[in-house]
Chains A and B, each alone.
Chain A
Amino acid sequence: MPTLFQQIQAGKVWDFHGGIHPPSRKERTNQKPVALLDIPDRLYIPLRQHIGVAGKVLVKVGDRVLKGQALTQADNAMAVPVHAPTSGTVQAIELHTSAHPSSLAEPTLVLAPDGMDEWRPRKPLDPEQADVYTLLERIQESGISGMGGAGFPTHIKVNVKQPVDYLIINAVECEPYITADDMLMQERASDIISGIEILVKLLSPKAVLIGIEDDKPIAAASLKAAIGQKDNYFVREVPTKYPSGGEKQLIQLLTNKEVPAGRRPLDIGIVMQNVGTAFAIAQAVLDDIPLIHRVVTVAGETLAQQQNVLALIGTPISDLLNACGFQAEPAQRIIIGGPMMGFAIADWSVPVVKTTNCILAPTENELGAASEEMDCIRCGACADACPASLLPQQLLWYSKAKDQDKLAEYNLSDCIECGACAYVCPSEIPLVHYYRVAKADIRETQREALKAEQAKARFDARTERLERDKQERLERNQQLAAQRVAQQQASGQATQSAAAVQQALQRTQQQNAQPLDKEQIIAERERKKAEALAYQQQKQQAVTAEPAADLATEQTEDPRKAAIAAALARAKAKKQAEALPEVATDPAPPETATADVDAKKAAVAAAIARAKAKKLTQQEPEAQPETAAESAPAEAPASDADAKKAAVAAAITRAKAKKLMQQEPEAQPEVAVEPASDVDAKKAAVAAAIARAKAKKLAEQAQVQQTEPVAAAQVPEPIEAPAESAPEQDAKKAAIAAAIARAKAKKQQNSEPL
């Protein structure tokens, strides 16, 4: 029993299951030399022409590039660059219809050739001298990807660690019409063999097997002549049968080995390269010509000259056709690829890319449109024809039912989409189309499963983070509260003010324990609105009657009140001057000066300044509404009505301001309520209390929500408050407006989905 290698040496060729014999129609083009074309007016060079990712663009619009200059740079292993096929100017980098069945637009570089065809400096390598890494680098930098159809980056495929038994060169070209590789072998056999030698250096296989169909005798002969007496190079002529050019089919033909499902040929010690790829490698290494052109078969009966042409990458297909004497029929179809596996394109400006081996422009009689699809009669012809030994009719059944489990069970992933089943189907069912859709569905499902997994992981991470933040915030708040109490007790403040603070603290705690229910709050708000309205009317009357006497008519002449207001204003102005010199000073100092003249106006100015200050502090992300409820300056005026108390209040406010200075600038929603003192103390107290309760509730909500940027959520509040209070000429109105604004903000907060 001879070993496998002995059998191969003896010239044995095996067979694979199924296969078909469509009319080849290769005789139209395989006798004519490869034609050279004029440089087209525009070249459309897609940035990605292979399986993998596009490189980084190196040129910009307007740059002049030389022939062979790299336009993109491979910045990772799966990227290969593209090169300028001729010298010219980069006109645009834009979306252009891609040479893909979807016709989706892809980033494409538009090059306007200058006709000079000027080369960049070239540095040929000597494959005998160069080491493996230099060769691999050159292959990648020359933009070489598999030219058989799939376009897998060649430098990855030939950079292997495992031992390789056989290097198989695929020169079968089994698809009807296509003769591009055939002509290349006839004309450039010695270059191809040089390319194979470079591959042998990279892979060190036991033997090189060149598989070629027996309908290409000239090409086979020229290859044999180029090989000469080299050891372990075998040209094997295989019987003409479609699809013997499939990777797994050719391996079976030449070595009788089967690639297991879901594995690569490398796993059984085999590497396969297309003959065109071998030629491109030879050009890249020996002549430093990157992959900028390729042989394309242009065939079909609408053409005056059916022939092979050497087309620059990026040549629009319409240019190629016109160069071959194209006479379009009505409803003309243009097909990229062969008639079995190709796809029709709608836009003829699609460019030639690295994997384009054939362009068909058939007449209606030559390649008819598909006829009506009929029901499957379960004749089993497709199963007989399937080169992968699948059961196409079962796959069709499950594809229609979208049963992905069953499809996997029947090995849909092993389908090579050769179209043999559809070719033999008596019911004219486009079986491959069903499989392609099913495969895309399966890919989509897998992608979605992956995405769901990621989304879940992110959701879990977020939930965990929020929980952790909540705990941290609680702890910090407790610490801060403890610190504050300690500070207040330690600092030698006036006993009265300390008492007031304590009182305020207690009150807030009580409110904390028994928060006002919503109805109460709404009732209060309504009452306050009504009051505000009444007051406004009253005031308008007063103003229209005698604007000058306005101040006098109100009880502001009362010296006590004036004193209080002055004191407050002074305290505030001082605080502002210390805290926020650049913002608050402009309105404050002039007003303080006039305070001696007109106390009320000073109070108003102070209120405005305070509103501004508040807005400023709230802009700080650290602002914490709950801390504000603590500072009780608004309480002071509640007890007002005589001068002594006023003095006390002023002292408190001053103390507060000082304390505030020592601490961080924290948001004080309550501050704005203060000016209410000088007009109606009781009402102000009520308003302040309500406002405080609201602020508290807000703070609690914020804690429940425990989202850090609570302050940001309150942004609308400070905007409204100063807007309403600023134009007012009366402090009370300012206070009411502030309270209303706060209520609005809160309402907004409530309406938010938690």
Chain B
Amino acid sequence: MSIITALWALGILALIFGAVLGYAAIRFKVDADPLVEQIDEILPQTQCGQCGYPGCRPYAEAIANGDDINKCPPGGDATIKKLADLMGVEAKPLDAAQTPAVKRVAFIREDECIGCTKCIQACPVDAIVGASKQMHTVIVDECTGCDLCVEPCPVDCIDMVPLTSSIERWKWDLKAIPVKVLES
């Protein structure tokens, strides 16, 4: 008899706590930052498609679904390292052999531009301005250097030029001779 009472008591308690926990799970649900968002944060957002996906977010989704993390040339090794940390996998060398050492931006030779707007349509970040039959030009500060405008140009007037170094962006050269006082 006492066993049955105990079973009843425990059963009712289990039901009550189950209900409380179940309610709490719904009421206090925390929206965890989804993995895709985190990966997308790490990717350089050039939208260049060199990974084989049409933009950074699709690649982030692919990585979340198990694709390789070493397909992003603009991000380089730093991005791969961060992705490896996030995904808990081994950092691999970059898939594509061509790693552009210097940042490049598109440049339109304006004399040759025929105003066909094809590059404007190709630019993923709207960094090219111009209108039909009017000369186009690239907004250097907005260009991500993704190369996507080079291919569609019918007159091949778009070059990828290395970003000129300015005093603000200049990095100290380790080989520079350090200045130091000798003991007299």
Contact = CB atoms under 8 A, between A and B. Distances in A.
Contacts of B132: 621, 709, 711-712
Q: How large is the interface on A (under 10, 10 to 19, 20 to 34, 35 or more residues)?
A: 35 or more
A38 interface: no
B95 to A, nearest CB: 20
Contacts of B133: 619, 712
27 contacts: A22-B181, A23-B181, A23-B184, A104-B166, A104-B167, A333-B177, A340-B180, A367-B181, A423-B180, A430-B178, A440-B170, A447-B169, A448-B44, A452-B44, A452-B45, A455-B125, A456-B56, A458-B142, A461-B126, A709-B121, A711-B132, A712-B115, A712-B133, A713-B117, A752-B152, A753-B151, A753-B152
A343 B178 CA distance: 8
A366 to B, nearest CB: 7
A660 to B, nearest CB: 23
A65 to B, nearest CB: 26
A239 B177 CA distance: 31
Interface residues of B, number: 43
Interface of A: 22-23, 25, 98, 100-102, 104, 106, 176, 333, 335, 339-340, 342-344, 365-370, 419, 422-423, 430, 432-434, 436-437, 440-441, 444-445, 447-448, 451-456, 458-459, 461-462, 619, 621, 705, 707, 709, 711-713, 715-716, 752-753
A339 B174 contact: no
A441 B121 CA distance: 34
B171 interface: yes
A433 B175 CA distance: 9
B94 interface: no
A437 B175 CA distance: 11
Contacts, number: 127
A491 B22 CA distance: 69
Interface SS of chain B: loop
A441 B184 contact: no
A340 B178 CA distance: 9
Contact of A176 (B44, B167, B181): B181
Contacts of B126: 458, 461-462
B47 A459 contact: yes
A366 B182 CA distance: 7
Nearest to A440: B171
A434 B166 CA distance: 20
A22 B44 CA distance: 46
A584 to B, nearest CB: 21
Nearest to B42: A452
A369 B177 contact: yes
B97 interface: no
- Which of A23, A106, A461, A713 has the most chain B CB within a 10 Å cutoff? A713
Contacts of B36: none
Nearest to A20: B181
Interface in B149-184: 151-152, 154, 165-167, 169-172, 174, 176-184
B116 interface: yes
A299 to B, nearest CB: 12
Nearest to A344: B177
Nearest to B127: A458
B172 A440 contact: yes
A430 B175 CA distance: 10
A98 B167 contact: yes
A707 B121 contact: yes
